[in-house]
């Protein structure tokens, strides 16, 4: 129940677009006890969107794979780096295991698990190389892809899928 909920926990009620949020913000913000989270942040450059990946509702197989810290309706990485690094990006929720005395509240705390914030994923994509790769394929009419690697380090510095209809030609 709301009375016994963790006051710092975030429980999504509904998800809306940024445009709809802008319309509703003046009405929703003054409501006591409401909080807002941005899901997905800014959109990546379309050329590297397949590499970055996307967020979406958790599926039943992902729910089984990711475990009990997720529930139906959770938003998770469904492709690319967002999916591959889901646990790192999301962190770990905290919690308390306690013995309850019914209406009198908790009798004893058995264990406390601290929350751990997610951490960013660092890539070797170089914005200057990425822009140069996009420019190189900009005039190509056919489906094409480009992966630029630093031969000394083996690091990928640019990835471009061009006219691929959303398929990941560069990294498949």
Interval 81-98: pLDDT, tens? 888 899 899 888 788 888
pLDDT of residue 1: 40
pTM above 0.75, yes or no: no
Q: Each residue of 138-163: pLDDT tens digit?
A: 889 999 999 999 999 999 999 888 88
d(CA 105, CA 103): 5
Residue 154 · residue 147 · CB < 8 Å: no
Where does the pLDDT of residue 39 fall: very low under 50, low under 70, confident under 90, or very high at 90 and above?
low
133 burial (CB, 10 Å; 0-12 / 13-18 / 19+) is buried
d(CA 49, CA 160): 9
């Amino acid at each position: 129940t709301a009375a016994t909920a963790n006051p710092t926990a975030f429980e999504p009620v509904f998800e809306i677009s940024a445009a709809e949020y802008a319309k509703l913000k003046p009405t929703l913000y003054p409501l006591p006890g409401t909080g807002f989270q941005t899901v997905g942040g800014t959109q990546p450059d379309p050329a590297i969107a397949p590499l970055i990946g996307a967020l979406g509702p958790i599926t039943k197989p992902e729910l089984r794979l990711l475990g009990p810290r997720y529930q139906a309706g959770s938003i998770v990485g469904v492709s690319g780096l967002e999916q591959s690094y889901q646990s790192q990006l999301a962190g770990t929720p905290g919690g308390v295991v306690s013995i309850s005395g019914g209406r009198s509240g908790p009798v004893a705390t058995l264990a406390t698990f601290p929350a751990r914030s997610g951490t960013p994923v660092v890539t070797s994509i170089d914005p200057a190389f990425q822009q140069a790769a996009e420019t190189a394929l900009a005039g190509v009419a056919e489906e094409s892809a480009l992966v630029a690697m630093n031969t000394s380090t083996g690091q990928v510095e640019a990835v471009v899928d061009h006219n691929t209809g959303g398929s990941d030609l560069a990294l498949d």
